[in-house]
Amino acid sequence: KAGVTQTPRYLIKTRGQQVTLSCSPISGHRSVSWYQQTPGQGLQFLFEYFSETQRNKGNFPGRFSGRQFSNSRSEMNVSTLELGDSALYLCASSSQGVDTEAFFGQGTRLTVV
């Protein structure tokens, strides 16, 4: 069974630009969650999608958005990038939701300059 795939692995963007990150969950998993990991704040929950609907949302500004497609693949978009958005963005897939085993991808390392 293929694991969770995140693309790209690394990104360098300039302040003010926007970026789209992609996550392909494990086949059959309908829940995809996104997290931001930074040395100062640790792992912070962004949002969760289940069957194409946003079911959960963390405390992030509206510049952070996402969506999920009918094949459960998910994308996360960050607009008007700020230096503080530099982080490792992780996606986790699970069969039903956060209380079931979550499998994480390797993450996308975003650097904003």
- Residues of this chain that interact with another protein (CB under 8 A) are 4, 33, 35, 42-45, 55-56, 58, 90, 92, 97-99, 101-107
From the CB of 62, what's the least distance to another protein, in Å?
Answer: 19
- Label residue 44 left, alpha or beta by phi (over 0 means left) and psi (-120 to 50 means alpha): beta
From the CB of 26, what's the least distance to another protein, in Å?
Answer: 13
Residue where the block lists tokens 């996550």: 23
State which residue, 55 or 79, has the beta carbon closest to another protein: 55
* Structural tokens at position 16: 């003010």
State which residue, 31 or 72, has the beta carbon closest to another protein: 31
Kindly list the distances between the CA atom of residue 99 and the CA atoms of 24, 55, 82, in Å, as whole numbers in the listed order.
20, 14, 32
From the CB of 69, what's the least distance to another protein, in Å?
Answer: 21
* Structural tokens at position 84: 């503080």
